[in-house]
Structure formats: C-alpha cells, structure tokens
C-alpha cells in the first residue's frame, strides 16, 4: 500500500478543503511543507538515481559484496521515493522472507489470537497517524491492514506478544509497502535490528537509554552537565525516539531519511540522530540559558522545534557522530549492562 509520493491534491468534505502533503499527511509533527526533500530535485536527477538503484537491486549480491560502501553512501543521501519501499526490503532482507514463506502470512491471519490482544490492538490502531490519508478512516484499508499486520505478528511471536510501540512502526511501513511485505519487514526490524526491545522488562531499552546518556557525557559534556543539573535523563524524553525510530517525533521527510540509513547501518543511526538533536537544541550557551529548568528542557525535547527537526539541519548534524560505530556501541552496551546487573 503506497501513497503517491507527490500527493498535492485536496480531499473534499462538503465545503471543507483538506490539504495533504506529498507523503499523505494533512497535519501533525509528520507534516512536510512543500519545497523540502526530493521536491527541489529535477525530474531528470531523480530518474537517474532511480535507474542507478534499479541496477543495484538487479545485481544486489554483487553490489553488497564489492561496493557496499557505495550503497551505504547512497542510503545516507536518501533513497528515491518511487523505489524506497523496495530498497528497504533488500537492505533488511525481508524480500527473502516473502519468497521463502509463501502462504505463511495468510496462515497467521487465520489463526486465533487472544481476545485481550485483539482489544488492545483495536484500541491502538485509531491513534496511529490519524492525520494520514490511509489511516484517518476507521473503516479504511489503512487501519484494516495495520490490524492484520499486528495480529499476524502476535501470532508469530507469542513469546513477545503485543507492545504499543509496534503500532507506529508497522504504520510507517504500511505507508510505503503492501501489507504482507510490511509484515515481513516489521518482523525483520524486531528480530534483527531491535532484538529484545519489546520484552516485558524492557532491559534492552533501559541499557540503550543509559548508553545515550554516557555518549552524551563523552561527546557533549556541557549538554550532559546541563541535563544532569536539572535531573533530566533520557528515559524522560527518548523512549519514543528509540522504540518508534522517531516516527512519532519528526517531519516525515526526515523520518524517511533516517529509515533509509537505519536499514543499512542499524541502531547506531538512532544514537547519532539523538546526539544531533541534543547538540542542536542545547548545545549553545544561549540555548542552555533559555532552557534553564527541567520543565523547559522536557517541553522542548518532547516538542522539538522546526529549526532542529529540518532534515537539512538535523541529518548533516548527525554526521558529526559518524565515528560512533558498532564496536563503540557494543563496548558501551557491555559496560552499561554490567552496571545495571550490578556485576
């Protein structure tokens, strides 16, 4: 299920005129003004990028084995909208899951699901991107597909079950992928990129929030000192950032660029973006004087201003933390896990 990327048309209800952006949003944090993202590229330039990516997809194993750095760099530049969903599936490998499991998705949908899980899912699907064209109708195809994806996931992951953070992630995928492909991509995110994130004890999330605090102390010591002075810790503002991959917090063009990188590079992208936000929001002496209470800090961190969330500002700022590698995160994870366990 894919909303036309250049959606500029109006939706009419009586005399009311509702303007949707090119991603299908009519408001909210995800709404994008015209003139950003791919809209400033010429059609010829976009087409050249699409053709190059099509060549990559048709020779995927060759490119990933010999020129993976080129693929990584192109993900950082942004994947063309017309083929973004397909590229995501190749980057995470979910296209293989579709090929290897014919009929599995429909089988999962036909299986019974605990009534309390069904009730919880139905309560949550109305809350997911109500400003988006495919989710604004409670009887529409968007909410129906979201229910199906979450139900199938719960039936295939009974040991984990349902978590509220599942819904925004699955919704984001459904904007750009057909239902079954969104399901397998969602499974891949939970199993490969975010293992243990949705366990009842949330231990992985707690560790990684502590990691963010430690990385902030290392790379942004004045920001860290300011936050600690006011007793503002990542658990108070960054849970959504990690569990929902910023889908609930940023304009959609920015979310898409983050996901483009995330599917290639993994969770370190989220740490880089988080540090960039902290730097842009609290990095200057003036901003620290202005945000000089816990309430002011939390209000700004939960309602990020436009000058921070613009993809032209935030994404280049995140590249300042390119040295945060998998090995850096692995070392910090081990350290924080030991601190939490008391060993």
pLDDT digits (tens, 9 = 90+) for 55-107: 999 999 999 999 999 999 999 999 999 999 999 999 999 999 999 999 999 99
DSSP 30-70: T---TTSGGGGS-HHHHHHHHHHHHHHHHTHHHHHHH-HHH
Task: For 247-315, give the secondary structure using H, E and C.
Answer: CCCCCHHHHHHHHHHHHHHCCHHHHHHHHHHHHHHHCCHHHHHHCCCHHHHHHHHHCCCHHHHCHHHHH
Distance separating alpha carbons of residues 16 and 61, to the nearest angstrom = 50
According to the model, what pLDDT value does residue 340 have?
Answer: 86
According to the model, what pLDDT value does residue 39 have?
Answer: 52
Answer whether 99-193 and 203-341 agree in fold.
no
What would the pLDDT profile of 166-193 be if each residue is shown by its tens digit? 999 999 999 999 999 999 999 999 999 9
According to the model, what pLDDT value does residue 9 have?
Answer: 35
Q: Between residues 280 and 34, which one has the greater pLDDT? A: 280
Distance separating alpha carbons of residues 89 and 202, to the nearest angstrom = 27
What would the pLDDT profile of 287-323 be if each residue is shown by its tens digit? 999 999 999 999 999 999 999 999 999 999 999 999 9
Phi and psi angles of residue 164, each rounded to the nearest 5 degrees, phi first: -60, -30
pLDDT above 50 (res 11): no
How many separate helices (H) and strands (E) can be counted in the chain? 20, 2
Angle at 75 between CA 73 and CA 79, to 5 degrees: 135
Domain boundaries of the chain, sorted by first residue:
10-80, 99-193, 203-341
Class of domain 99-193 as given by CATH: mainly alpha
pLDDT above 80 (res 34): no
Angle at 22 between CA 21 and CA 23, to 5 degrees: 90
pLDDT above 80 (res 50): yes
pTM of the model: 0.90
Taken in order 52, 2, 43, 28, the sign of the CA dihedral is negative
Contact partners, residue 137, CB within 8 Å, separation at least 6: 143
According to the model, what pLDDT value does residue 46 have?
Answer: 86
pLDDT above 60 (res 223): yes
What would the pLDDT profile of 189-219 be if each residue is shown by its tens digit? 999 999 989 887 889 999 999 999 999 999 9
DSSP 118-137: HHHHHHHHTTS-TTBTTTS-
What angle do the packed helices 179-188 and 141-156 form, to 10 degrees? 40
Class of domain 203-341 as given by CATH: mainly alpha
Distance separating alpha carbons of residues 320 and 316, to the nearest angstrom = 7
Between the alpha carbon of residue 328 and those of residues 8, 316, 323, the distances in Å are 43, 21, 8
Which secondary-structure segment (H or E) carries 142?
A: helix 141-156
Measuring CA to CA, which residue among 282, 275, 321 is closest to residue 305?
Answer: 282
What angle do the packed helices 311-318 and 252-265 form, to 10 degrees? 20
Could you tell me the two tokens for 9? 């048309």
Exposed/middle/buried for residue 118 (C-beta within 10 Å: 0-12, 13-18, 19+): middle
């Amino acid at each position: 299920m894919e909303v036309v990327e250049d959606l500029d048309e109006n939706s009419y209800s009586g005399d009311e005129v509702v303007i949707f952006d090119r991603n299908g949003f009519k408001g909210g944090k995800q709404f994008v003004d015209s003139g950003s993202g791919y809209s400033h590229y010429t059609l010829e330039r976009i087409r050249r990028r699409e053709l190059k990516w099509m060549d990559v997809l048709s020779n995927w194993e060759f490119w990933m084995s010999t020129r993976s750095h080129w693929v990584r760099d192109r993900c950082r530049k942004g994947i063309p909208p017309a083929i973004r969903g397909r590229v995501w599936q190749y980057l995470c490998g979910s296209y293989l899951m579709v090929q290897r499991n014919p009929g599995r998705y429909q089988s999962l949908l036909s299986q019974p699901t605990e009534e309390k899980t069904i009730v919880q899912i139905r309560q949550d699907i109305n809350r997911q991107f109500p400003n988006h064209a495919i989710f604004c109708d409670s009887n529409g195809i968007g909410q129906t597909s979201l229910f199906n994806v979450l139900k199938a996931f719960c039936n295939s992951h009974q040991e984990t079950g349902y978590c509220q953070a599942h819904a925004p992630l699955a919704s984001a995928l459904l904007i750009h992928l057909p239902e079954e492909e969104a399901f397998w991509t969602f499974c891949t995110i939970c199993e490969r990129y975010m293992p243990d994130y949705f366990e009842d004890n949330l231990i992985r999330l707690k560790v990684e929030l502590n990691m963010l605090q430690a990385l902030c102390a290392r790379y942004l010591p004045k920001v860290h000192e300011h936050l600690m002075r006011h007793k503002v810790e990542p658990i108070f503002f960054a849970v959504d950032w990690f569990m929902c991959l910023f889908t609930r917090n940023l304009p959609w063009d920015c979310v898409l660029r983050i996901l483009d990188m995330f599917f290639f590079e993994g969770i370190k992208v989220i740490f880089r973006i988080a540090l960039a936000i902290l730097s842009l929001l609290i990095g200057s002496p003036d901003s620290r004087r202005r945000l000089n209470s816990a309430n002011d800090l939390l209000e700004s961190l939960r309602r990020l201003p436009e000058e921070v969330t613009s993809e032209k500002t935030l994404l280049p700022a995140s590249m300042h933390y390119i040295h945060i590698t998998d090995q850096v995160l692995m070392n910090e994870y081990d350290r924080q896990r030991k601190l939490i366990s008391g060993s």
